[in-house]
Amino acid sequence: MDTIFLEQVKVQTKLGVPDWERLIPQTIILDIEIGYDLSKSCKSDSINDTIDYGAVVTRIRETLSLSSFKLVESLAEHICQLILSEFGGLSVKVRVAKPGILPGLKALGVSIERLAK
């Protein structure tokens, strides 16, 4: 299986366990790996034979701007399911980092991986 990767994608969403933390959008950083068969697009050189990563980023930003999550785990699962269902990925791995949330900590987050059913 081949991989399309999107690294350090900055998005805005409302995220946090305390209610006050979800009042205003925060910057979250995503690393995304999408498993896909790229053999056809390697030969055709056509965007129609692959996943349009610009469309993936636009869709993620759109859905997260309208969403609110308590846990980074829920946010990561939301992104995985979106990519699998809307873009036809064969697998997806998402790393969600919430930077600078605790003193002396660069970031906190999770990394999850899901396979298409």
Would the CA dihedral through 17, 22, 28, 34 be positive or negative?
positive
> What residues contact residue 96 under an 8 Å CB cut-off, 6+ apart?
28, 29, 30, 72, 75, 76, 79, 109, 110, 111
Active site residues: 98
